[in-house]
Amino acid sequence: MFSLKFRAKSSPPEDPGTPAAAAGAERRIDLPAFLDILAGPEPAVPGETFLIEAAGGGLPLPAQILDVPPGGAAGAPVVFVFHGALDQSRRRIPAFAGRFLTRKAGRFATVIGLADPALGIDPALKLAWFAACEGGDTPAAIDALAAGVAARLRPGRVVFTGGSAGAHAALRHARALPGSVAVLVNPRMRIRPSRYWQDYLRLCWPGTGRKPADLRALVPDIAELAAQKAGDGTLVYLLNALDTISLRLATEFLAPRETLDDVLLQVEHWPGFEGHSYPQPAWADWVRAAAEAPGVSVAEIAAQKAGAAPRPQSRPAVRPAAPP
């Protein structure tokens, strides 16, 4: 499904791609204990960061429970949110995206923000794609968390979402959980030569002799992501019509696929949103539609979105850190 819209009258809201800095205490915890807290009557202390220890050791996975529906987490939709590139000279880590999916969006899901633990290795790192490093297997930890949440809470739907480089991790892990939905915003999923991958190999794999040729085995490129078969999960692909780089990358991602039956492509424009930005309420509306639709087909998600009442958009955009 494809849709292209230009909105003539709209005030730009706060950009949703800018992660909010973590605040409050940090607590090291294993996955079963985290699931106990998540399923409990009072699952989260606002601002508390959980450092979920990996079963095999290594770097713990930072997570925040950003919101839980009034009726509790059991049976409710779950949304995992991934941040994009971060400039550590300007932002404290761990940092979490997803606060725009909480009270303002109607408290429709359990919202869990995830932070890339590899960024804590060195302040020079801005992006590590939530990929593995010498200190731990982050993708395995995320897959274990998602599977544990699905088994323990039995949510009505699991949605993975991220913008820019965060969309890479959102799609990768949605494909690993059958029946889930990925909501991607201005995705930047091409792994190309840049300072980002040079820093990643140098700092995340010190002394291992990793070379640029090894990167594709560690971080799936857009070609590998595109080749994944349909039916592994529905993909909602959201683009700002003025983000020409993301538009070009969308053609690279979509063109080689044998079918687009599992892709809902939406291209829109809002005055005040130039280039690599996207309005917060619009992103939240699509995530909510994906979470609350009766099924995970493109038609069901699109119909759910069409029936949602529009909410005002009012605050100016803040550009996220430049992705690769």
Domains and CATH numbers, the chain: 2-306 (3.40.50.1820)
3-state secondary structure of 269: strand
CB atoms within 10 A of CB 4: 11
Task: Look over the chain and give the mean of its residue pLDDT values, rounded to a whole number.
Answer: 82
Helices marked H in the chain — which ranges?
A: 31-39, 138-153, 166-174, 195-204, 215-218, 222-227, 244-254, 280-292, 298-306
Q: Per-residue pLDDT averaged across 125-135, rounded?
A: 91
What integer pLDDT is reported at residue 229 of this predicted model?
55
Q: Per-residue pLDDT averaged across 135-155, rounded?
A: 95
The residue with greater pLDDT, 317 or 112, is 112
The residue with greater pLDDT, 120 or 215, is 120
- Tens digit of pLDDT for each residue in 152-176? 999 999 999 999 999 999 999 998 8
The residue with greater pLDDT, 103 or 48, is 48
Q: Per-residue pLDDT averaged across 76-94, rounded?
A: 93
The residue with greater pLDDT, 227 or 290, is 290
How far, CA to CA in Å, does 220 sit from each of 63, 162, 217, 225?
23, 16, 7, 6
What integer pLDDT is reported at residue 164 of this predicted model?
92
Q: Per-residue pLDDT averaged across 182-203, rounded?
A: 84
Q: Per-residue pLDDT averaged across 189-208, rounded?
A: 81
Confidence of residue 324 (pLDDT cuts 50, 70, 90): very low
What integer pLDDT is reported at residue 126 of this predicted model?
93
3-state secondary structure of 95: strand
Angle (CA) 169-173-176 rounded to 5° is 155
The residue with greater pLDDT, 189 or 39, is 39
Within 8 A by CB and 6+ apart from 231, the residues are 262
The least confident of 21-30, 43-52, 298-307 is 21-30
Is the pLDDT reported for residue 193 higher than 70? no
Q: Per-residue pLDDT averaged across 138-149, rounded?
A: 96
Task: Determine what percent of the chain is predicted with pLDDT higher than 70.
Answer: 82
Is the pLDDT reported for residue 239 higher than 90? yes
CA nearest to 111, candidates 143, 83, 77: 77
What integer pLDDT is reported at residue 24 of this predicted model?
58
What integer pLDDT is reported at residue 130 of this predicted model?
94
